[in-house]
Amino acid sequence: MTLQFVYTQQDFITEVCRGSDKMAPPPTVFDSAIRAGWTDRMEKGLFRYQLSALETRVLPGPYGFVAQLNIKRGTERRKPQEILSIKQEFNGKQFNFNKISPDEVLFEMVKGRDGSPALPDDGLAPSPSKMFVMINVSPLEFGHCLFIPDPSRCFPQILTKSTIRISMESVLLSSDPSFRVGFNSLGAFASVNHLHLHGYYLDHELKIESIPVEPLLPEKGLYLSQEFPGGFVFYAEADTVEKVAEVVCQVTDFLVDNNVAHNLFLTRGCPPYSCAQTNKDCQLRNGVRIVIWPRMACFGAKEESAFNVALCELAGHLPFKNKEDYERSTERDVVEIIQKYLLPQSALQKLEQQLINHLRPCDPRTKTLIHP
């Protein structure tokens, strides 16, 4: 029987700081469930390789890229499926998460009523939007797991509102600012066409947690990153998760409808400032930053020798496949590789305007756009 992790909004951690002088908060029940379950599966040999502390260095330069040497992920991971379209249908004959060993499942997330206990011995009634958390057998980092909404429903790799909401909630359930969640669309280095997101711990600060942003449509919470690589930025705290999840889903639906590949990354971050704030303000991690990068689609393209450009690389975390590239690559080298997968500036600007028009509310009486 699958263990259930029952949580409510009362379990969200609403006060987190980066680099605080205070003692780090203790792990939450959510953190402990992932860490203990993940470590147990590693000790049982359920992963494709043993993952010890990874050799890590921060590349000199303003972007603060965090480089890690993870050779075995590049050599031992399952061969990616052939992807031909961003809207490709689910194919039950190919590998999917209904075919994994039950031992790889850590728990099922269930949002209960206020006052419900966490991790009960016997399960509650199934949630209308089930979310299974299981290990990634080819881990990027400690605690690398997969969030899979009701695998039996066989959703293709296209985000849904409830999936976005639960992924945001998972970040808020952790007291550790190093816990991240991300998504690769088809054509953006998703390797399995079965709806899933990645979650893992990376104990290094990333620039996207605090970089200034430019308002695009602030009434909808839409901002644009002012630093490379440019992406759409949203921010949510505990009481705005539902509202922000709805708009984020409108954005990802728009990208899918227009055949635009994309990566998404969620991390603890500070509110969306348009310019530098005080050091104290920039250390706040009370909410979740959600960054969406529209990018060039890759279908059957040759992989880069150093690293693939997907959710974690765009966020500034670089898992290198070989020691030579890991040791020799500079920030300039990394920027040149990433740049090849980003939309040209003219295409990004056109997409920005289309997205603003798509999200801007209309007057219901005249069906015309309402301008601020």
Asked if 268 and 260 count as a contact pair (C-beta separation under 8 A), the reply is no
Residue 127: the pLDDT is 41
Residue 304: the pLDDT is 85
Strand 197-201 versus strand 145-149 pairing type: antiparallel
Residue 366 lies in a domain: no
Residue 34 lies in a domain: yes
Residue 21: the pLDDT is 59
Report CA-CA distances (Å) from 354 to 110, 251, 302, 348, 349. Answer: 36, 11, 31, 10, 9
Residue 368 lies in a domain: no
Residue 372 lies in a domain: no
* Host domain of residue 8: 4-359
Q: Which of 194, 196, 198, 317 is catalytic?
A: 196
Asked if 147 and 158 count as a contact pair (C-beta separation under 8 A), the reply is no
Residue 370 lies in a domain: no
Residue 160: the pLDDT is 97
Residue 354: the pLDDT is 96
In 10 A of CB 282, how many CB atoms? 19
Residue 39 lies in a domain: yes
For residue 196, indicate whether it is catalytic. Answer: yes
Residue 269 lies in a domain: yes
Residue linked to tokens 């990376």: 202
Asked if 47 and 144 count as a contact pair (C-beta separation under 8 A), the reply is no
Q: Which two tokens stand for residue 109?
A: 């997330």
pLDDT digits (tens, 9 = 90+) for 247-265: 999 999 999 999 999 999 9
For residues 177, 183, 189 and 192, what is the CA-based torsion angle, rounded to 10 degrees? 120
N- to C-terminal Cα distance for the chain?
53
Residue 366: the pLDDT is 43
Asked if 147 and 131 count as a contact pair (C-beta separation under 8 A), the reply is yes
Residue linked to tokens 């250390």: 283
E strands in the chain: 4-7, 56-58, 66-69, 105-111, 131-135, 145-149, 179-184, 197-201, 213-217, 222-225, 232-236, 261-269, 287-295, 317-320
Residue 369 lies in a domain: no
pLDDT under 50: residue ranges of the chain = 116-128, 363-368, 371-372
Task: Tally the domains of the chain.
Answer: 1
Residue 113: the pLDDT is 73
pLDDT digits (tens, 9 = 90+) for 136-181: 999 999 999 999 999 999 999 999 999 999 999 999 999 999 999 9
Determine the residue type at 279.
N
Tell me, what CATH number does 231's domain have?
3.30.428.70
